[in-house]
Structure 1
Amino acid sequence: MNGFWHDLRHHPTLLGAFLLGIGTIGMLDGIIFHQLLQWHSVNMHTDRQHQIISDGLFHLAVTVVMVWGAVVLWNSGRADEPGARKLFLSGLFTGAGLFNFVEGIINHHVLQLHHVHPGDYQTAYDLAYDASGLLLLLVGLVLYRGSQSRAR
């Protein structure tokens, strides 16, 4: 695990994909849970206008993260390295998983800004969301290990 965090700071393919993973899963969260299903907003403890503004600011932030990741990848020039595809997928899944898990713990459990689906079974929805983050994180770390064995 220590190798992943070291490589995240020093390998542009991993960093760019990690940022894309954060931005992509954040965007999917906003599109699916906030807009299509309308289960929650970033800040549920306010009127509808401010909920829409909080969601808009969230979408703006994850878009900036996605563009940042794309720029890092564009400038990396390392697509032909051994294990680069697995390293890319590792970063993508790890970024997505870490976002879901951390966002779930902080916003759903600690700060209680919102829940995945408020009402009956909200804790089950929140825990399933956390579990999805852990699963994505695990997939990313497994892919990272695979990319390291191929690179050698």
Structure 2
Amino acid sequence: MRDERRPRVSATLLAAILLGIGFMAAIDEIIFHQLLAWHHFVDVGSSALALASDGLLHTLELVLLVVGGALLIRINETGQLARGYLSAGVLLGMGGFQLFDGIVNHKILGLHQVRYVENVLLYDIVWNAFGLIVLMGGYGLLRRAQRGVARS
């Protein structure tokens, strides 16, 4: 018989990762797409398509925030939240999104660049380094949480 109050690590991590992806997508959308106007999700000759692609990214970001938040609330209400894994999951989601965006969207698919300047290399390095640092921070917190569970 399963203990209903036992922390659910996988469920907590899933909810937190979804929130982290949503948070980082929101930061990207608000700061780099809207405030700085450095790029759109899909940069093409059509400003209407570029704007529509930003709307699609914004919609996905909101869905991830709502689903992740709802899962987190449900897990917490049932007393199954694995608190030590919450921050780890958020940072893993944020760093994973940042690296995915920098490597896949920027370089492999060529949907957009960080910023349209003559030498984009410095922007790419900073963008991906930031994502890697956040991802490593999340991994460090994950390892710390796993060690805490092993001790208890």
Q: Partner letter of residue 36 of structure 2? A: L
Q: Could you tell me whether the CA contact under 8 Å between 1:20 and 1:65 is conserved in 2?
A: yes
Q: TM-score, normalised by structure 2?
A: 0.86
Q: Choose from 106, 116, 121 the match for 1:118.
A: 116
Q: How far has the Cα of 1:10 moved from its partner?
A: 5.9
Q: Could you tell me whether the CA contact under 8 Å between 2:42 and 2:53 is conserved in 1?
A: yes
Pair 1:127 & 2:125 matched: yes
Q: TM-score, normalised by structure 1?
A: 0.86
Structure 1 stretches of at least 4 aligned residues deviating more than 4 Å after TM superposition: 78-82
Q: Could you tell me whether the CA contact under 8 Å between 1:13 and 1:78 is conserved in 2?
A: no
The alignment partner of 1:136 has SS state of helix
- Find the counterpart in structure 2 of residue 103 from structure 1: 101
Q: Partner letter of residue 12 of structure 1? A: A
Aligned equivalents of 1:41 and 1:11: distance in 2?
Answer: 33
Larger radius of gyration: 2
- Find the counterpart in structure 2 of residue 19 from structure 1: 18
The alignment partner of 1:77 has SS state of helix
- Find the counterpart in structure 2 of residue 54 from structure 1: 53
Q: How far has the Cα of 1:77 moved from its partner?
A: 2.7
Aligned equivalents of 1:85 and 1:121: distance in 2?
Answer: 43
Q: Partner letter of residue 44 of structure 2? A: H
- Find the counterpart in structure 2 of residue 147 from structure 1: 145
Q: Partner letter of residue 14 of structure 2? A: L
Q: How many residues in Structure 1 have an aligned counterpart in Structure 2?
A: 143
Q: How does 1:25-64 map to 2 (within 5 A)?
A: 25-64=24-63
Deviation larger for 111-120 or 28-37: 111-120
Q: Could you tell me whether the CA contact under 8 Å between 1:79 and 1:85 is conserved in 2?
A: no
Aligned equivalents of 1:79 and 1:114: distance in 2?
Answer: 42
Q: Partner letter of residue 13 of structure 2? A: L
Aligned equivalents of 2:78 and 2:9: distance in 1?
Answer: 15
Aligned equivalents of 2:122 and 2:80: distance in 1?
Answer: 42
Q: Partner letter of residue 76 of structure 1? A: I
Q: Could you tell me whether the CA contact under 8 Å between 1:20 and 1:70 is conserved in 2?
A: yes
Aligned equivalents of 1:81 and 1:55: distance in 2?
Answer: 36
Q: How far has the Cα of 1:80 moved from its partner?
A: 6.4
Q: CA RMSD in A?
A: 2.0
Q: Could you tell me whether the CA contact under 8 Å between 1:104 and 1:130 is conserved in 2?
A: yes
- Find the counterpart in structure 1 of residue 5 from structure 2: none
Q: How far has the Cα of 1:133 moved from its partner?
A: 1.0
- Find the counterpart in structure 1 of residue 4 from structure 2: none
